[in-house]
């Protein structure tokens, strides 16, 4: 079956990316962090087709959050320098796959290091806790883990630390000071660990974190309303296109995209022409401030998500649009675990 030619031909709900905005976002990031200064995080967009666009711009090192993402990137041949920026106890799953691919795994404990050793992975970063209550070892333990890894013949490439708790700090001066303090912890660990890599950051701190050697950003390519609240130069390129399936004489309209089409952890979707009243499993109910409803059954609307990553994970492809024309389709092939 041939792909649709126009946005109105899409089976909804459909994930649509505005090509012009996507290209602009990429140009801005390319200028700020060229080449290996950016390690795009595929967890945000979960697509080897999209990753290939970034590799063509010179960003050939990638990071991922799941083993499935690493496996998919290897299968796609995008394996020059892959970082699993997350601890795993199942590193052996990559045995064989990583023989011809450059795979590095983050470790923060003897248990996760042992999993890497047992799994035959030959490269690690020491993951250091820099303020976010998630993964990462203490500075005091970082050097010991690095020494143990090297004693086992593992290459220790450096350190990583994710200041995720600072991504949404709105005041730039305050954010810069807080990131500097977080990165001081990471650099202290790097002094004892060694290696050429200091990895961290994300879309929210890409331009203020000047202490790392590479930034792990991914959301910037398509953006969401959560990040759009910050003073960032990137624009929202991604919408969920939905179809009106019911209009009430009481002034609301119902579209065919609900909880199963969006990630809602950062808030409900937004609609430029009015208000989203609530989401149900397969429906969202829309209203307009003046009480009128200009939508009719069969109309399409575009809804903006508040969080890229979990929204993308609910869809099978990005439809790439230039105006109303569908110009490409990128499979979302890195979903699941």
204 shares a domain with 100 = yes
- Positions of the chain with pLDDT lower than 70, given as ranges: 1, 98-99
Buried b (16+ CB within 10 A) or exposed e, 125-158: bbbbbbbeeebbbebebbbebbebbeeeebebbb
pLDDT of residue 99: 65
Token pair listed for 240: 């969920």
Last residue of a domain, one of 182, 216, 250: 216
Question: Domain residues for 309?
Answer: 7-13+234-331
Residue 239: inside a domain: yes
CB 330 within 8 A of CB 275: no
Last residue of a domain, one of 216, 248, 270: 216
pTM greater than the 0.85 cutoff: yes
130 shares a domain with 192 = yes
Our count of domains for the chain comes to: 2
- In this predicted model, what pLDDT tens digit does every residue of 23-43 receive, in sequence order? 999 999 999 999 999 999 999
Residue 225: inside a domain: no
* CATH number of domain containing 252: 2.40.37.20
Give me the long-range contacts of 225-231 (CB less than 8 A, separation at least 24): 225/266, 225/267, 225/269, 225/270, 225/304, 225/305, 225/306, 226/168, 226/266, 226/267, 226/306, 226/307, 227/167, 227/203, 227/308, 229/168, 229/170, 230/168, 230/170, 230/204, 231/170, 231/172
* CATH number of domain containing 51: 3.20.20.10
In terms of Cα–Cα distance, which of 48, 28, 15, 54 is closest to 320?
Answer: 15
Residues 6+ apart with CB under 8 A from 148: 110, 113
- Cα 80 to Cα 71: distance, rounded to the nearest angstrom: 13
Q: Strand 197-200 to strand 155-161: parallel, antiparallel, or no bridges (unpaired)?
A: parallel
- In this predicted model, what pLDDT tens digit does every residue of 50-80 receive, in sequence order? 999 999 999 999 999 999 999 999 999 999 9
SS3 category, 257: coil
- Cα 130 to Cα 63: distance, rounded to the nearest angstrom: 19
Angle between the 172-193 and 139-151 helix axes, to the nearest 10 degrees? 40
- Cα 324 to Cα 307: distance, rounded to the nearest angstrom: 24
SS3 category, 93: helix
- Cα 120 to Cα 186: distance, rounded to the nearest angstrom: 27
Residue 259: inside a domain: yes
287 shares a domain with 156 = no
122 shares a domain with 78 = yes
Torsion 146-134-86-35 (CA) sign:
negative
- Cα 41 to Cα 55: distance, rounded to the nearest angstrom: 12
Residue 118: inside a domain: yes
């Amino acid at each position: 079956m041939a792909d649709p030619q126009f946005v109105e031909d899409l089976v909804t709900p459909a994930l649509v990316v505005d090509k012009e905005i996507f290209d602009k976002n990429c140009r801005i990031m390319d200028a700020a962090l060229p080449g290996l200064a950016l390690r795009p995080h595929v967890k945000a967009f979960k697509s080897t087709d999209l990753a290939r666009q970034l590799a063509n711009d010179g960003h050939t090192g990638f990071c991922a959050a799941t083993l499935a993402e690493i496996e998919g990137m290897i299968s796609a041949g995008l394996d020059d320098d892959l970082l699993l920026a997350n601890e795993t106890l199942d590193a052996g799953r990559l045995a064989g796959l990583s023989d011809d691919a450059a795979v590095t795994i983050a470790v923060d404990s003897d248990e996760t290091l042992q999993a890497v050793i047992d799994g035959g992975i030959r490269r690690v970063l020491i993951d250091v806790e820099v303020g976010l209550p998630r993964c990462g070892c203490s500075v005091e333990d970082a050097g010991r883990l690095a020494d143990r890894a090297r004693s086992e013949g593992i290459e220790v490439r450096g350190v990583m630390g994710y200041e995720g708790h600072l991504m949404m700090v709105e005041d730039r001066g305050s954010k810069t000071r807080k990131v500097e303090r977080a990165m001081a912890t990471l650099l202290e660990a790097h002094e004892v660990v060694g290696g050429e890599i200091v990895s961290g950051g994300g879309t929210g701190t890409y331009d203020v974190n000047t202490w790392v050697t590479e930034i792990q950003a991914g959301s910037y390519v398509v953006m969401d309303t959560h990040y759009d609240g910050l003073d960032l130069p990137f624009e929202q390129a991604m919408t969920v296109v939905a179809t009106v399936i019911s209009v009430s004489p009481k002034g609301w309209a119902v579209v065919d995209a609900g909880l199963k089409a969006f990630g809602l952890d950062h808030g409900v979707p937004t609609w430029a022409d009015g208000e989203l009243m609530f989401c149900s499993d397969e429906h969202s109910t829309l209203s307009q401030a003046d009480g009128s409803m200009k939508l009719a059954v069969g109309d399409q609307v575009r809804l903006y998500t508040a969080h890229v990553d979990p929204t993308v994970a609910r869809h099978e492809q990005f439809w790439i649009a230039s105006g109303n024309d569908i110009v490409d389709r990128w499979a979302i092939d890195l979903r699941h675990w």
